[in-house]
Structure 1
Amino acid sequence: MDNKILSATASQQDSERALLADYKADTADSAPFGHSELPPATTQFEARFSKRAIAGVVSAAVLLFIVAASFWMPTPECMHGMGGFQQPGKVDIPGDGRIDPTRVFLNIPSTDQLRENLLYYSSGAHVAGINSTQAAYTRDYFEQQGIESKIVEYFPWLNYPVDQRVTLFNETTQGIVFEAGLKEDVVPGDPLSEDPNNLPAFHGYSTDGNVTGQLVYANYGRLEDFKALKDAGISVVDKIVLVRYGYIFRGVKVQIAELNGAKGVLIYSDPADDGYSKGKVYPTGPWRPESSIQRGSVMRLQVYPGDPLTPGYAATKDAPRIDPKDAKNLNHIPSLPLSYRDAEPLLCALQGHGRNASEVGSAWIGGLTSKGVEYWTGPSKLRVNLLNKVGYKTRAIQNVIGRIKGSEDSEHTVIVGNHRDAWCAGASDPSSGSAALLELARALGELMKLGWRPRRTIILASWDAEEYGLVGSTEWVEDNIDWVRTNAVAYINVDSAVGGGDFKTEASPAFEQLLYDVTKQVPYPHSNGSVYDAWLQQSLASAELANQAADDYTDMADVADALKSPTPLIRPLGSGSDYTAFMAHAGVSSLSMGFSGRSGAYHSNYDSPKRLTTFIDPDMQLHQAMVRVWGLVAIKLADDPVIRLSPVNYAKTLRRYIRQLEAHVAAQLNNTSSGKQAQNGAVAAASKVHHLRAAQRQLLSSARAIEREKAHLRAVYGEDCQMGSRRRHTSCIKLRSSINDRAFGLERHFTEPEGIPSREWFKHVLVAPGRWEGYGAQVFPALAEAAEDGDWKRFQLYSKRTVETLYEAAWFLREV
């Protein structure tokens, strides 16, 4: 590594330590490639990374040897630890001198390098607004790989914890019965569990407040949970509500509680969901121990993400700000997270009061029954005091933007991104992804040393302040919205690269075939199969479990598809990571992926490299597989002559989306009908989506016409358009450009300027986060919400608009 990267600047490091301490004080008062830079990085890992310069030279020499030797050395039978997969060996160099980048790329990602990257990023707490050292380090690392890079700053409104307290007391005697520890235990042998800079129990964008009231338990805090309480005669008005994490985004839990009249919310992690009910807890296993606290944002993410005070435009230094009281994506009652150790006495205080939770709902009982806890609704006789003192400040955040300029079609750009900030050390979320991003940058740099350049530009983005509410990526997209809509081919997101062994992905349907093809090329660690093979088996197993559960919260249409389909089911994109602004606001086809499965340390002090490398990925081969998948998708999108986005896959997937909408409409009709009317709900629902089905068929017909054009291009010209005749070359380029423009431009045609009613920031008419879910996707959101509200006049209006949008998209695909 260059000395520039490793030079220690004591003043900057001292400044950041001061900022970290300052979060407990009271509140005081562009072009896509960047408009500001920070000083060179500082790091506490000088000794570890001082050898990077030598290592970089050696790795380049080794890579050149591999490329040269591949012409005369035999290809090895298999890759060590990868079963029967052949090592990508021979490098194909066509007549134009271009290497085959995908073949070379697969050999580059290094598990040792990934481990070093992970240890750097997860060396301690790096909260948004207090991690500029890592931003500068990331920029300089990109530049060391030959990638032009800059830091782009924004200035959002962020909060930091000052004082938190939860007490259970007797109102008559004022005697304190219990006071929550609000602190995680130190784990011997894991120094990051005792980092003095770790945040206390805290919610990003939580409201400052000191409230007191009786306690009521509301299960997962969903709409149906509060309705069940109401039906059971239990009121939450002026109460402190205790809910458990799961099913919906924490910010929506607080919002629903507020709408039902609650004074405050406590959200705890129940052992049934990710604690000892799942297996051994940390440090003897990967699951959540009793003192573990899940931090996180409670922004109303489904209203709009990003800086609350600059809705729809970038939070630049001099941007106008709205009054916080007018920010529609903020809640207005205080909230705090709890461990299940701190939640246990609160649940015990409810015992015998109100209704037994099993009488309210079959899924209301958690895992603390093994400790003798009975789950009751309350309200309690004892009172709870919730103190949440926070300091709000306008604080600079840093996005790192690296660019590899395309060789032929440089204005069109493939963007890959990961967020860098974390509530604690964040080894899995997001540092596993940050480690992968650096290794992806190094691998692309090695390809460039061999003379390779992508046809289209590639941007590598390291986002800041994602944890608060996708702030860094949202502000960047809003700042560059016209450029993004014009030039962005696709956005490829990796948040937590490795949290388990299950490959999971949500994506625009346009990515489907590309994802299948790429994952078939990448070996799955410690198996004889590919990532695709493991993904398929994991998908089928999950679908079978869901089919057996068949509860009220299972999407049985998706389950049926997964069980009968020979391919893994790709979920639609809702929200919860940095793809949101690209897909939902700008209409850029987006993909988010990673290995998951063991969430027992999520947003806690125990999401450390020690836990990750002990229980999840000891040899870093899952990290390596993630880099390979991520890189191949990016390279193919940026370098293949014909862009690998499929309008046909999109049109076919819309049939499933329409079927899901039809089932949703039928359910709403049945909820408001009885007897014979209820039996006719399905018939009525089918009639309401009839025109959508006709538009989908037209879209599929137009998409298939593009496939015929692709076949014509290959047969008559060849995708590379390499021919002697200038006239034929010009005709080929024109046809190929037209096909590509329509392939990546299709997603734009599914957005409308007016957006979704009451949350207009979301422009995509086909998918958006559910308004009462926050993360999970809702297909045809405007129509689904009109049906939920029983507003069939609005449903008809937006049905007409959506049908027109689909026909316009179909006509766009026919333009040549």
Structure 2
Amino acid sequence: MRSKSSSATEPSQLDSEKAPLVDNLPNASAAPALEAAAGLKQESSGCFMGISKRTVAGLAATGALLLIFAASAWIPDPGCIHGMVFPSQLQSASSDGRIDPARVFLSIPSTERLLENLRYYSSGTHVAGINYTQASYTRDYFEQQGIDAKIVEYFPWMNYPVDQRVALYNTTNNKVVFEAGLREDVVAQDPLSEDPNNLPAFHGYSADGNVTGQLVYANYGTIDDFKALEKAGVSVANKIVLVRYGRVFRGLKVQAAELHGARGVLIYSDPADDGFSRGKTYPDGPWRPESSIQRGSVIRLQVYPGDPLTPGYASTESAPRIDPKDAKNINHIPSLPLSYRDAEPLLRALQGCGANVSTIADSWVGGLAAKGVEYWTGPSELSVNLLNRVEYKTVPVQNVIGRIKGSEDSEHAVIIGNHRDAWCAGASDPSSGSAALLELARALGELMKLGWRPRRTIVLASWDAEEYGMVGSTEWVEEKIDWLRANGVAYINVDNAVSGTSFAAQASPMFKRLLHSVTRQVPYPNSNESVYDAWLRQSLAEHRLGSASTESVAHASANSDADIDANDDDGASAEKPHKPPINLLGSGSAYTAFMAHAGVSSLSMAFSGIPGAYHSNYDSPKRLTSFIDPDMKLHQAMVRIWGLIAIRLADDPVIDLDPVSYAKDVRKYIKMLKKQISAQSSDDTASAAALGRVRNLHAAQRQLLISSHMVERDRKHLRAVYGEDCQMKSRRRHASCIKLRESINDRVFGLERHFIDPEGIPSREWYKHVLVGPGRSLGYGAQVFPALAEAAEDGDWRQFQVHVKHAAETIYEAAWFLREV
């Protein structure tokens, strides 16, 4: 591996693979492009294929026009789908004569290129710290598109598997009754299932250890589940705890077990959540087969992400490190993931021991009941030996950072990112997003060949070591924190771009208007709908079914803005959402440091819904193209959405971030907080007093809403009096226009920063956002007003009063900031 670190690990066999597919533009015929330029290709609906005549007229002076069509497969005009016209696509040039980059961009993304990219990135296991080849490939690809790019290395402390064992045995005669295979079956049709570099059963940041104890089943391993065991008279002290994936982040399951005195934790994928109970299993269908193992990190994500030994600052090669025993985001008992095939004998060994889980709650019964398994709590008569040998070391990880310098306002930047590392081949997570990032880079490169440059800088980031706990992105944000807080316009994240067919998004409320607008412009594959239409339809169907979010490849929060208030002004209804839901941002992907630590408004999105291969050897291109996106059009749609949002934020004269939506959502957050207090508090008097103090938040929220409307009035005034482009001959009017436009932009992208508290959330100070952050007992899931919610949960009403006052002051200060013209 090319690294300055003497502790670097050697590259895997990925470094010796065949030369990557980085080629020049294909030798495609120019005839389709010439036909389109002449307006000859036309459907019966009257919609032209390709770009419009007006666009052609604006570009005819350059031969670069042909490169667009030679570089991508010919596709129908995104403004026309089976005769349906998207009106916002019909303009092809802006008022100042510049090309309309969004219009041209939509015709560029190629499904063939996306498939090539996907096959490259998921050609083998590429774990963090041992994928330098892919880092250099990504950098070189960016550079070939005319994008300045470099590799930025950090040196975090990470673990790798050495030896694992799970055995069930009789302590009386030491006879082994069952030994877990801890391996996934080979699928004959899928060569990646037998890649010699595939990882064994493993948890990132798990503790090294060899422990033995009786077995106890604890359902999903939530705090409430452990409380239920205590109520049933079952102790997990000195036991091995068996829990299933779902509900909360896996690191919280291990932490909860540790806090209750357990010696070790086994986490299995139950078929009720992700297996044969959901449908046909791979290779016959997309769902998780019986031998499939879900790897993943068990870092204490809710404390802080990133390198455990450099909390709050970047893990550069020379950075000081804390002692590992002082790292607060590391668990101290060993853990391993299991398949449900390996979990079945363990569950059968519990039969008749302790309490039948139906006496606790029917929700404790999993899908293996269909195979005659009875779910009991234990403790078991037999014992379990859990061996987890891991090696911890400091290793270099590589972020790839590309930069397209802005033409007018180069200091301010829009950042778009995807992580590159995977536990296995990672076709969905994250290679579908990595494939999309490369194609987005190529499309931006084609625009630059036409002479286009964004007004603001665009930064493209390919992160490493995200799977361990957002390490690469966190270290970069910690190093660039001052620059980001001064200049970061927004961060747009795509992790696993395609793992299902349902569009989903988590975002700061600042993105609502823009995201709804863009998804209306992009066709949903193989339909007469836009992505927006399909998104709304799918969310309404899920709402009717009452489906609940679980921990999945989408990392989606269970908190949706459509489920909060039946009478809110934006039309969201608890019974029937008027707009597609945008979830709150908790944690679980690379946006975490941007939003929760730096205060940069963030968006994360995906086509999700079928997590049946998540973090397993079966997350392969074969499965992805067989059952989820056979024609790669979902990937293409994601590139279009991602690119349009980036172009709009980087190139529109006035940044389309929406403080009014934010102010309205703050009111929703307050209502959510009040419901939590009412539901949690056993002290009615204290609860009533706390709810009374929340009135301060309501008053602050009203001021924020008033100030937000002032920004919108300024935006309307700019359009009506000057025009957003500030194209006028009078120097005085031009200067006034520029000043007002800069003021609007500074306020809308700076608003998020005003919800950042430098002191952070008590006991987990790295998280600094006052309004929203990952829940202390959720991990991935979001919690509104986290400091207040946690004080209420702890019954610390004195601290609650302090935090209410501070939160109200923070909102008031944000409101006054929006009035600074």
- Could you say whether these structures have the same fold, taking a TM-score greater than 0.5 normalized by the shorter chain as the test? yes
- The answer to whether residue 767 in structure 2 is matched with residue 762 in structure 1 is yes
Partner in structure 1 of residue 413 of structure 2:
413
C-alpha distance after superposition, 1:660-699 (max 9, x if no partner): 0000011122xx24xxx4xx78855541311101100000
Specify the SS of the correspondent of 1:540: helix
State how 1:110-509 maps to structure 2 within 5 Å.
110-509=110-509
Partner in structure 1 of residue 69 of structure 2:
none
State how 1:567-646 maps to structure 2 within 5 Å.
567-646=579-658
AA in 2 matched with 1:558: I
CA distance in 1, matches of 2:35, 2:440: 19
Give the CA deviation at 1:566: 1.2
Partner in structure 2 of residue 563 of structure 1:
575
Specify the SS of the correspondent of 1:53: coil
Give the CA deviation at 1:94: 3.9
- The answer to whether residue 779 in structure 2 is matched with residue 774 in structure 1 is yes
CA contact (8 A) 1:546 1:559 kept: no
CA contact (8 A) 2:563 2:577 kept: no
Give the CA deviation at 1:217: 0.1
AA in 1 matched with 2:629: D
Give the CA deviation at 1:437: 0.2
CA contact (8 A) 2:204 2:468 kept: yes
AA in 1 matched with 2:436: A
CA contact (8 A) 2:8 2:394 kept: no
C-alpha distance after superposition, 1:250-271 (max 9, x if no partner): 0000000000110000000000
CA 395–807 in structure 1, closer or farther in 2 if over 3 Å, else same: same
Give the CA deviation at 1:20: 3.9
C-alpha distance after superposition, 1:701-747 (max 9, x if no partner): 00001111111111110000000011110110000000000000000
AA in 1 matched with 2:633: Q
Give the CA deviation at 1:92: 2.3
Give the CA deviation at 1:362: 2.3
Give the CA deviation at 1:79: 5.5
CA distance in 2, matches of 1:574, 1:226: 23
AA in 1 matched with 2:753: R
CA distance in 1, matches of 2:400, 2:658: 30
AA in 2 matched with 1:309: L
C-alpha distance after superposition, 1:18-63 (max 9, x if no partner): 4449xxxxxxxxxxxxxxxxxxx967343x726x2142x759x689
C-alpha distance after superposition, 1:481-517 (max 9, x if no partner): 1001111100000000000001010000000000000
CA distance in 2, matches of 1:442, 1:42: 24
- The answer to whether residue 17 in structure 2 is matched with residue 44 in structure 1 is yes
CA contact (8 A) 2:291 2:342 kept: yes
For 1:76, which of 34, 39, 48 is the aligned residue? 48
- The answer to whether residue 101 in structure 2 is matched with residue 101 in structure 1 is yes
Give the CA deviation at 1:541: 1.8
- Tell which deviates more after alignment, 89-98 or 631-640: 89-98
- The answer to whether residue 518 in structure 2 is matched with residue 518 in structure 1 is yes
CA contact (8 A) 1:643 1:740 kept: yes
Give the CA deviation at 1:178: 0.2
Give the CA deviation at 1:85: 3.9
Partner in structure 1 of residue 666 of structure 2:
654
CA distance in 2, matches of 1:332, 1:473: 25
Partner in structure 1 of residue 755 of structure 2:
750
CA 62–356 in structure 1, closer or farther in 2 if over 3 Å, else same: farther
CA distance in 1, matches of 2:549, 2:709: 38
AA in 1 matched with 2:726: C
C-alpha distance after superposition, 1:607-663 (max 9, x if no partner): 000000000000000000000000001000001110010110100111111100000
Give the CA deviation at 1:554: 8.8
Partner in structure 1 of residue 65 of structure 2:
none
CA 545–783 in structure 1, closer or farther in 2 if over 3 Å, else same: same
Structure 2 unaligned residues grouped into runs of 5+: 50-75, 551-557, 567-572
CA contact (8 A) 1:79 1:85 kept: no
C-alpha distance after superposition, 1:374-402 (max 9, x if no partner): 00000000000000000011000000000
CA contact (8 A) 2:477 2:593 kept: yes
Structure 1 unaligned residues grouped into runs of 5+: 1-8, 22-40
AA in 2 matched with 1:376: W
Specify the SS of the correspondent of 1:363: helix
Specify the SS of the correspondent of 1:242: strand
AA in 2 matched with 1:282: Y
C-alpha distance after superposition, 1:769-795 (max 9, x if no partner): 001110000000000000000000000
CA contact (8 A) 2:210 2:385 kept: yes
Identity of aligned residues (%): 70
- The answer to whether residue 24 in structure 2 is matched with residue 53 in structure 1 is yes
For 2:807, which of 778, 781, 802 is the aligned residue? 802
CA 246–20 in structure 1, closer or farther in 2 if over 3 Å, else same: same
CA contact (8 A) 1:193 1:605 kept: yes
Partner in structure 1 of residue 58 of structure 2:
none
CA distance in 2, matches of 1:384, 1:170: 9
Give the CA deviation at 1:526: 1.3
State how 1:625-704 maps to structure 2 within 5 Å.
625-669=637-681, 672-673=682-683, 677=684, 684=689, 686-704=691-709
AA in 2 matched with 1:391: E
Partner in structure 1 of residue 742 of structure 2:
737
CA distance in 1, matches of 2:366, 2:584: 29
Specify the SS of the correspondent of 2:724: coil
CA distance in 1, matches of 2:35, 2:143: 24
Partner in structure 2 of residue 718 of structure 1:
723
- The answer to whether residue 795 in structure 2 is matched with residue 790 in structure 1 is yes
Give the CA deviation at 1:84: 3.7
CA distance in 1, matches of 2:460, 2:484: 14
AA in 1 matched with 2:99: I
CA distance in 2, matches of 1:688, 1:340: 48
CA distance in 2, matches of 1:96, 1:72: 28
Specify the SS of the correspondent of 1:468: coil
Specify the SS of the correspondent of 1:602: coil
CA contact (8 A) 1:129 1:397 kept: yes
C-alpha distance after superposition, 1:319-358 (max 9, x if no partner): 0000000000000000000000000000000000000011
CA distance in 1, matches of 2:229, 2:240: 14
CA distance in 2, matches of 1:91, 1:68: 16
Give the CA deviation at 1:558: 3.4
Give the CA deviation at 1:96: 3.2
Give the CA deviation at 1:68: 4.5
- The answer to whether residue 717 in structure 2 is matched with residue 705 in structure 1 is no
AA in 2 matched with 1:53: N
Specify the SS of the correspondent of 1:564: coil
Give the CA deviation at 1:75: 3.8
CA contact (8 A) 1:547 1:559 kept: no
Give the CA deviation at 1:200: 0.2
AA in 2 matched with 1:605: N
Give the CA deviation at 1:568: 1.1
AA in 2 matched with 1:595: F
CA distance in 2, matches of 1:140, 1:66: 34
CA contact (8 A) 1:544 1:559 kept: no
- Tell which deviates more after alignment, 388-397 or 683-692: 683-692
Q: How many residues align?
A: 774
CA distance in 2, matches of 1:549, 1:451: 45
CA contact (8 A) 1:45 1:120 kept: no
Give the CA deviation at 1:300: 0.2
